[in-house]
Chains A and B, each alone.
Chain A
Amino acid sequence: MTAEPIFPEWRNRSLDDALYECRELFEDTTFPTLRRWRERGGKIVGHFQVAFPEEIVHAAGLLPFKVRGAPIETVQADSRFGSYLCSILKSSLELALSHIVEMEMFVTHPICDAARNLGAVWGRNVSYPCQILYLPQNANSPHSAVYLRGEYDRLKRSIEEISGAQVTDDALRQSIAIFNQNRRLLRELYQIKNETPWQISADEAYVLVALAGLLPRAEHNELLETLLPQIRARNNHSKDKVRVVFEGGFCEQPPLDLIRNIGRSCYVVDDDLLIGLRWLLEDVVVDGDPLANLAGAYLEKSSYSPVQHDLRKPKEKMLLERIKKSNATAAIITAAKMCEPGLEEQVAYTRALDAAGIPYFMGEFEENMTSFDSIEIQLETFVENILFA
Chain B
Amino acid sequence: MSDTHEIVGRGNRDGARLFQHWFNQLNHTAETGGPAAYVFVMGSLNELLRVFDLPIVMPEINSLQTAVRRVAHEYLNQAEDYGYSPDICGYVKADVAVQLRGGEHPMGRIPKPSLAVLTNACNTYIKWAEIWERMYQIPIFTLDVPGTRAAGKQTWPGDADFENDRGYVLAQIKELIGVCENVTGKKFDIDRLRENLQHANVMSRAWRRILELNRNTPSVFNALTDGTIYLGVSNGFRGTAEGARYFSDLVEEMEFKAANGIGTMTDEQYRLIFVGVPCYPIFRRFNELFSEWGGTFVNSTYLWFAAGGVSQGYEYDLQRPLESLATGLLIYVRNAMDSMFYQEEALAEMIDPFHVDGIVYHPIKSCRTVSTGLADNRRALMASRDIASLFIESDMMDRRVVSEAQLKNRADAFFEGLASRRLAAR
Contact = CB atoms under 8 A, between A and B. Distances in A.
Contact of B144 (A141, A307, A346): A141
Given A85-B372, A138-B172, A347 B83 contact: yes
B150 A143 contact: no
A354 B216 CA distance: 60
A79 B153 contact: no
B144 A114 contact: no
B123 A144 contact: no
Interface stretch (A41-49, A58-66, A122-130, A187-195): A122-130
A1 interface: no
A338 B89 CA distance: 11
Given A309-B126, A341-B127, A110 B368 contact: no
Interface in A335-376: 335, 337-338, 340-341, 343-348, 350-351
Given A111-B123, A121-B376, A130 B161 contact: no
B19 interface: no
A98 interface: no
Contacts of A79: 375, 379
Given A146-B167, A340-B124, 11 more contacts: A81-B372, A83-B393, A84-B371, A113-B123, A120-B373, A121-B372, A129-B150, A132-B148, A146-B168, A147-B167, A343-B88
B164 A147 contact: yes
Given A82-B375, A120-B342, A154-B164, A340 B87 contact: yes
A141 B126 contact: no
Contacts of A118: 372
Interface of B: 82-85, 87-89, 92, 120, 122-124, 126-127, 130-131, 133-134, 140, 142-144, 146-151, 153, 160-161, 164-165, 167-168, 171-172, 175, 337, 340-342, 344, 363, 365, 367-369, 371-377, 379-380, 393
Contacts, number: 173
B199 to A, nearest CB: 27
B149 A134 contact: yes
B247 to A, nearest CB: 30
A8 interface: no
A293 B172 CA distance: 22
B372 A117 contact: yes
A150 B175 CA distance: 20
B124 A113 contact: yes
B134 A117 contact: no
Most B CB atoms within 10 A — which of A79, A143, A314?
A: A143
Nearest to A120: B341
Contact of B142 (A89, A138, A151): A138
Contacts of A142: 171, 175
A327 interface: no
Contacts of B87: 84, 337-338, 340, 343
A131 interface: yes
A80 B375 contact: yes
B372 A114 contact: yes
A113 B369 contact: yes
A315 B131 CA distance: 12
A138 B126 CA distance: 10
Contact of B164 (A121, A150, A309, A315): A150
Contacts of B161: 150, 154
Given A80-B376, A120-B373, A147-B167, A137 B144 contact: yes
Given A82-B393, A114-B368, A307-B123, A132 B144 contact: no
Given A82-B372, A114-B368, A309 B142 contact: yes
Nearest to B96: A347
A249 interface: no
14 contacts: A113-B122, A117-B372, A119-B149, A120-B376, A137-B126, A138-B143, A138-B144, A140-B142, A141-B144, A143-B172, A146-B171, A150-B160, A151-B146, A341-B123
A366 B142 CA distance: 31
A385 to B, nearest CB: 21
Interface string A298-325: 0000000011010100110000000000
A82 B379 contact: no
What 4 pairs between A and B have smallest CB-CB spacing? A143-B171, A150-B164, A117-B372, A147-B168
A109 B84 CA distance: 25
